[in-house]
């Protein structure tokens, strides 16, 4: 299925691996594999952080897009897929390999990313603020989607001559995959695993991660390398408590949530409370067109659900809908929410409070002491979500400064990322075969904690590569 017409080069160069993103940070996933004269990109994510730095990194790719022969995509989250349109519009002509669910999610997520960039730029200009030009538009996304080629889990396929791959269920979000690569250059044989983002051993909605195949090298995420998650059972208790607070204060519970994965998990737990008769009579609104579209994609891929969700669907065919839950789409519907009194629950994107409708809900409610803001999981450095999680007393939202009078709560039990213990257990079957383990998609402290733990368990070679570092395999 490959489109590359380069001549096959054998034995002239070693297999190389270059870390171009998510190196000692949790965003902008992007790694380059070079073999037989071909260049394969593992993920092409948007870097999220300080706006000027993020724009510069995302606009200026660290390679000539025309030199990339193929992309292997682990999953649809924007920090892994979000810069594919930039790649495609700058001359990339290869294929983007992904699972079918990842392709379906990317179709809506990348289009949404384009719309948000345009909408945020228009808002800032309207209020006299400097605004960068969007990286791409919806027509660029349409051209990008034409490059996708889907492959089922656990099916080995030829990417390019001398390069084979297979996707293994990562249990992180719908369609997420760990990517195994078998690389042949001359007499060399190299087996490489890129974990993507590893899910929990008992995901809320999805199947648990597949056991990875034996390999020589591993590129592993390390987002929660220094932490142990709260028990997942705590989620329903916290939601019940916060709902009671919202009702008693007649306030609003605002939940910034990633449109894909986290929103569906929150709705599923609210559905459980509803089915148990423990959900207060309070309006619950999912205010995100992307969340609505993503939920539809989830409904169309029941093969990805775990046994518990499938059993629930025998008596309740829609795990993402009940009487007091409403999905909004239009801008007018979204604006109207800020004029309505509580009690009310608003679930909106983005999860790290960096763009989208959540910014407007925070802007209108963050100075109200009856408001509770529930942050779900990890917040990357330099994001508004991180500043709120760290207890900032004042924050800037869409160019204006606000005093934080709302109550800020953080819940990690809903994280779709494996914690330290779960990562250790996921990697354990590979310890005897792996020659080197590279930790990515994590900040330096969690990475160091995980590296120390792994070395203590007998892993002989564990490193945290820096951005731009190249390793010969």
Radius of gyration (C-alpha) of the chain in whole angstroms: 22
Contact 179, 74 (CB under 8 A): yes
- Band of residue 125 on the pLDDT scale cut at 50, 70, 90: confident
Residue 1: other Cβ atoms inside 10 A = 11
% of the chain surpassing 70 pLDDT: 97
Instruction: Name the one residue in this structure whose structure tokens are 């990286």.
Output: 135
Considering only CA atoms, which of 398, 319, 404 is closest in space to residue 129? 398
d(CA 249, CA 32): 52
Residue 303 carries which DSSP code?
G
Assess whether pLDDT exceeds 80 at residue 163.
Answer: yes
CA 144, 147, 153, 154 torsion-angle sign: negative
The whole-number pLDDT of residue 3 equals 54
As a whole number of angstroms, the distance between CA 242 and CA 98 comes to: 38
3-state secondary structure 172-183: CCCCCEEEEEEE
Judge whether residue 92 has pLDDT over 80: yes
Dmax (CA) of the chain: 71
Nearby residues of 406 by Cβ (< 8 Å), 6 or more positions away: 254, 365, 366, 367, 368, 369, 371, 372, 373
Say whether pLDDT at 264 is over 60: yes
Dist. CA 273–CA 267, nearest whole Å = 10
Q: Please give the order of strands across the beta sheet that includes 177-185.
A: 157-160, 163-169, 177-185, 188-194, 217-221, 436-440, 462-463
The pLDDT of 408-418, averaged and rounded, is 89
Helix, strand, coil tally for the chain in percent (to 5): 35, 25, 45
Q: Are 170 and 197 in contact (CB under 8 A)?
A: yes
Q: How confident is the model at residue 10, as a pLDDT?
A: 47
Please report, to the nearest 10 degrees, the dihedral formed by the alpha carbons of residues 74, 75, 80, 85 taken in order. 100
The sign of the dihedral angle between the CA atoms of 231, 173, 29, 56 is: negative
DSSP label of 419 = B
- 408 forms bridges with which residues in the sheet? 373
Please, what are the domains in the chain?
16-227+416-472 (3.60.15.10), 233-411 (3.40.50.10890)
- pLDDT exceeds cutoff 80 at 11: no
Q: Summarize pLDDT for 175-229 with one digit per residue, the tens.
A: 999 999 999 988 889 999 999 999 999 988 999 999 999 999 999 999 999 999 9
* Section 325-343 average pLDDT: 89
Question: How far apart (Å, rounded) are the C-alpha atoms in residues 178 and 171?
Answer: 9
pLDDT value of residue 314: 76
Indicate the pLDDT class of residue 15, thresholds 50, 70 and 90: very high
Residue 310 pLDDT > 90, yes or no?
no
- φ, ψ of residue 252 to 5 degrees: the values are -125, 140
> What gap in Å lies between CA 349 and CA 258, rounded to an integer?
6
For 272-287, the pLDDT digits (tens) are 898 889 999 899 999 9
Whether 30 shows a pLDDT value over 60: the answer reads yes
The residue behind tokens 């924007």 is 78
Residue 174 near residue 207, CB atoms below 8 Å: no
User: What does pLDDT average to over the chain?
Assistant: 91
């Amino acid at each position: 299925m490959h489109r590359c017409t380069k001549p096959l080069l054998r034995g002239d160069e070693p297999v190389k691996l270059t870390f171009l993103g998510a190196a000692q940070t949790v965003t902008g996933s992007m790694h380059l594999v070079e073999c037989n004269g071909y260049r394969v990109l593992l993920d092409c994510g948007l870097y999220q952080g300080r706006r000027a730095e993020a724009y510069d990194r995302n606009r200026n790719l660290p390679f000539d897009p025309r030199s990339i022969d193929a992309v292997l995509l682990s999953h649809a989250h924007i920090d892994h897929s979000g810069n594919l349109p930039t790649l495609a519009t700058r001359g990339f002509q290869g294929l983007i390999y992904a699972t079918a669910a990842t392709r379906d999610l990317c179709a809506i997520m990348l289009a949404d990313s384009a719309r948000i960039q345009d909408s945020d730029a228009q808002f800032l200009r309207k209020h006299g603020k400097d605004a960068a030009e969007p990286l791409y538009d919806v027509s660029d996304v349409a051209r990008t989607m034409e490059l996708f080629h889907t492959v089922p889990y656990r099916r080995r396929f030829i990417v390019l001559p001398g390069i084979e791959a297979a996707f293994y269920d990562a249990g992180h979000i719908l369609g997420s995959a760990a990517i195994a690569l078998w690389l042949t250059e001359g007499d060399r044989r190299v087996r490489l695993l890129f974990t993507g983002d590893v899910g929990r051993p008992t995901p809320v909605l999805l199947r648990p991660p597949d056991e990875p195949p034996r390999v020589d090298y591993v590129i592993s995420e390390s987002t929660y390398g220094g932490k142990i998650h709260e028990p997942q059972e705590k989620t329903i208790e916290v939601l019940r408590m916060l709902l009671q607070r919202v009702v008693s204060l007649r306030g609003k519970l605002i939940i910034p949530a990633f449109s894909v994965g986290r929103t569906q998990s929150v709705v599923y737990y609210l559905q459980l409370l509803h089915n148990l008769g423990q959900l207060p009579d309070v309006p619950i609104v999912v205010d995100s067109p992307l969340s609505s579209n993503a939920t539809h994609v989830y409904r169309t891929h029941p093969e990805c659900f775990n046994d518990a969700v499938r059993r629930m669907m025998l008596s309740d065919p829609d795990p993402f809908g009940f009487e007091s839950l409403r999905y909004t789409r239009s801008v007018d519907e979204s604006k109207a929410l800020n004029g309505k009194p509580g009690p009310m629950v608003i679930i909106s994107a983005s999860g790290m409070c960096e763009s989208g409708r959540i910014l407007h809900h925070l802007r209108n409610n963050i100075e109200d002491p009856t408001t509770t803001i529930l942050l779900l999981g990890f917040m990357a450095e330099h994001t508004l979500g991180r500043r709120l999680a760290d207890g900032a007393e004042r924050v800037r939202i869409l160019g204006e400064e606000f005093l934080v009078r709302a109550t800020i709560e953080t819940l990690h039990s809903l994280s779709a990322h494996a914690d330290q213990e779960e990562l250790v257990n996921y990697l354990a079957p590979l310890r005897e075969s792996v020659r080197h383990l590279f930790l990515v998609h994590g900040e330096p402290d969690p990475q160091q904690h995980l590296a120390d733990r792994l070395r203590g368990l007998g892993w002989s070679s564990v490193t945290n590569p820096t951005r731009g570092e190249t390793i010969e395999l």
